[in-house]
Structure formats: C-alpha cells, structure tokens
Amino acid sequence: MRVLVLRFSSLGDIILSSSVLTPLFEKGIEVDFLTFKPFDQLFKNDYRVKNVIAVQKSHLKTLKEIKNLSKELRDYDYIIDLHSNLRSTLLGFFTEAPVIRYRKNSIKRRLFIKPFFRKFIKEKFNVVEGYCKTLESLGIKTEKPRPEIILTEEEIKRVKKTLPDEFIVIGTGARYKNKVYPYFPEVSSYFLDSGIDVILIGTEDDKAFDRKKYPEKVIDLRGKLSIRESLSVIKNAKATISNDSAVAHMSRAVKTPVVVIYGATHPYFGFYPFEDEGIYISKNLKCQPCDLHGKKECKLESSECLDIEPYTVFSKALNLIKKSL
C-alpha cells in the first residue's frame, strides 16, 4: 500500500504529525509526505518516509496551482489529510485518491473558550491522538502514539562539541504576545545560580518579546540555527522550557523533558505533553483560554494568566530533570 501524508504547516503541527509515521512504517505501508518548505528538512534521513514532497506556500495559492500539483500526486491508495483546510481538501479532491481526513474538533475547542459551555466539555482532546485516529480507517490502532523526529548521531555529536556539559533550553517565542511568558530572564538566573547553563532557541523575531535583558552567561542562539540544528541542541539538553509553541513539540519529538507554560491558550486545545514527555503550567483562570490561538488582546489588560512566579517555573523544571535522571 502507498499513502500520501499531508500537513502543510506550521512547524509544531508538522512535528506532531510525525506520530503517524512509525505505525504506518511498521505495517509495511510506503509513505510520502507533502509539506511546505522549509519544513521538509524535518524528514531528512527519515527511514519511515520514502519521498518528501516540498512546495513553496506562495506557489500553492490559486485553484490552477492546486490542480497542477494534484497531477503530480498519482498512484496513491490513500491520502491522509492531517491539515483539513480548504487547500488540502481541494488538493485531495483533484488527486482523486480516497482521502482520510483528520477531525479537528474545532467546534468543541471554540466552545471551550466560553465559560458557560466549558463545564459541559469533559473529554480531553489531544492532537497526537487525533492524528493517529485517522489510521483506524486503515485498520491500524495505535497505543501511546508519540511525535518523533529522526536525528543522526552525527548531527547530535556535531552540535554537542560546541555546547556546555549541562544546560537547559528555553524557547522564548510564540506567534502572539499573550502566549509569551515574560519572566524567562529571571528563570535563567535561577538556573545559572544552580550551576546549569541556559541556551535560548527560536527565531530572530522572538527577541522582540524580550521584556528585559538576559544574564550575560545565557547563550542566545535565536535566529542562528536551522530547524535540525535546533532539534540537535534540544536533544542534548537536560530539559526544555517553552511557551505553547513549536519548541515544546520539538522537545517532545527528540525525547527531551519539557515544561510548557500556558497563557492565553489552554492544554485542552490538544497540544499538551503526555506525562512521559513532561509537564505543563497553567493558572486555569476563569477567563483562560480567551482565544483559540492566543491572538486577541487581554480583555482585562493584565495578562494575569502569564503572571506565574519564575521560581515556580524553575523548581518544576528542576524536579522534572531529577525525575528523568
């Protein structure tokens, strides 16, 4: 059997979609993966994927461009659509192969934003489990599905030569400011005082969210690494601390314990780590979550959801490190 797995973006979602690859591979199913550039590098040297098909987002905007791409996607027994948006739906339609589509639970997640409906929603949703549920249409049931990105020993050792012996990674950024924890500099100081180095991972744009300067000893690699280099750094870390963003999922995918801090969003939306992957910190305020993606401005103008003591974050991360030893 030959299948095409489809997830265009974004980085964190594509990393989580890797959870379907091992179950498919173990059943002897040939897998191609379709995504946007530069996310194709996630599957470099991945024995579970036969072909990675990478397209520029700007080249897949019109109906004609979608039709043209569909002509190149033939001879698949199934398309597994893990994006479930208009673009992926049209592509599946024109490709003419049977499509197995991921259910986003969008209505439930949006209702969870409203306090009145929240009390009626009991079932916890997890995106990884949702992705793998699509495989049931192929007769594949998964137990404890986990995201996994394959790194080579050479990649891991190459970056290790340039890194401190003991360090944690902090993913300081997120797409929207109400998802960004403001006290990472203070958390960094606690770790440095305890003899553990701190490395910052992310993009150059993440620096715009910095509330204050980091201690001089902090190693700032934001904007200096490729996706795979960032994954290799995280793989060598004792733990990762991150906002609800891609860095958290990168850590999960290379089996490094992670602490995820939630602000305007909420674990219920499905992006929380499993117990064997790490922990999350959320104040669980009545007004939290206030938005599906954390995009809206805080109605209270206080962002109280992010007012979490730095020492609390430090101590929980330190306990996680001790448990993983």
In this predicted model, which residue has the larger pLDDT, 169 or 118?
Answer: 169
Please give the Cα distance from 261 to 149 (Å, whole number): 22
Provide mean pLDDT across the span 262-275. 92
- Asked if residue 44 and residue 119 are part of one domain, the reply reads yes
Q: Is residue 320 part of a domain?
A: yes
CA distances from 278 to 13, 107, 128 (A): 18, 28, 15
Provide mean pLDDT across the span 66-78. 95
Of 84, 111, 138, the last residue of a domain is: 138
Q: Is residue 213 part of a domain?
A: yes
DSSP per residue over 164-195, as a string?
Answer: -SSEEEEE---SSGGG--TTHHHHHHHHHHTT
- Asked if residue 172 and residue 121 are part of one domain, the reply reads no
Q: Where are the beta strands (DSSP E) in 70-205?
A: 78-81, 99-101, 167-171, 197-201
CA 33 to chain centre: 17
pLDDT of residue 113: 78
Which pair of tokens denotes residue 47? 């024995």
pLDDT of residue 138: 97
CA 240 to chain centre: 13
Where is average pLDDT lowest: 113-122, 168-177, 228-237?
113-122
Q: Is residue 133 part of a domain?
A: yes
Confidence of residue 241 (pLDDT cuts 50, 70, 90): very high
- Asked if residue 226 and residue 203 are part of one domain, the reply reads yes
- Asked if residue 168 and residue 99 are part of one domain, the reply reads no
Please give the Cα distance from 141 to 148 (Å, whole number): 18
CA distances from 79 to 70, 94, 243 (A): 11, 12, 32
pLDDT of residue 95: 94
The yes-or-no verdict on residue 252 having pLDDT over 90 is: yes
pLDDT of residue 122: 67
Q: Is residue 147 part of a domain?
A: no
Q: Which residue has the tokens 């401190």?
A: 164
Q: Are 76 and 2 in contact (CB under 8 A)?
A: yes
Closest Cα partner for 263 from 277, 278, 246, 244? 244
Sign of the CA dihedral with 139 first, then 143, 148, and 154 last: negative
Please give the Cα distance from 214 to 224 (Å, whole number): 17
Beta bridge partners of 278: 258
- Asked if residue 51 and residue 102 are part of one domain, the reply reads yes
Where is average pLDDT lowest: 24-38, 56-70, 179-193, 284-298?
284-298
Closest Cα partner for 173 from 110, 246, 238? 246
Q: Is residue 144 part of a domain?
A: no
Closest Cα partner for 262 from 238, 240, 294? 294
Where is average pLDDT lowest: 30-34, 133-137, 269-273?
269-273
pLDDT of residue 303: 87
- Asked if residue 131 and residue 183 are part of one domain, the reply reads no
Provide mean pLDDT across the span 147-171. 97
The yes-or-no verdict on residue 116 having pLDDT over 70 is: no
- Asked if residue 184 and residue 78 are part of one domain, the reply reads no
In this predicted model, which residue has the larger pLDDT, 301 or 246?
Answer: 246
Structural domain boundaries enclosing 222 = 153-324
- Asked if residue 222 and residue 162 are part of one domain, the reply reads yes
- Asked if residue 303 and residue 203 are part of one domain, the reply reads yes
Of 84, 115, 138, the last residue of a domain is: 138
Burial class (CB in 10 A: 0-12, 13-18, 19+), 208: exposed
Q: Is residue 146 part of a domain?
A: no
Please give the Cα distance from 18 to 224 (Å, whole number): 25
Q: Is residue 269 part of a domain?
A: yes
The helix-helix angle for 184-193 and 310-324 (nearest 10°) equals 50
First to last CA, the chain: 41
Of 78, 111, 138, the last residue of a domain is: 138
The yes-or-no verdict on residue 247 having pLDDT over 80 is: yes
User: How many domains does the structure of the chain reveal?
Assistant: 2
CATH number reported for the structural domain that contains residue 256 in this entry? 3.40.50.2000
Closest Cα partner for 294 from 170, 182, 177, 211? 177
The yes-or-no verdict on residue 124 having pLDDT over 90 is: no
Q: What angle do CA 172, 178, 183 make, to 5 degrees?
A: 45
State the average pLDDT for the chain: 94
- Asked if residue 164 and residue 131 are part of one domain, the reply reads no
Q: Is residue 22 part of a domain?
A: yes
pLDDT of residue 46: 98
Provide mean pLDDT across the span 44-50. 96
- Asked if residue 179 and residue 118 are part of one domain, the reply reads no
In this predicted model, which residue has the larger pLDDT, 284 or 238?
Answer: 238
- Asked if residue 159 and residue 134 are part of one domain, the reply reads no
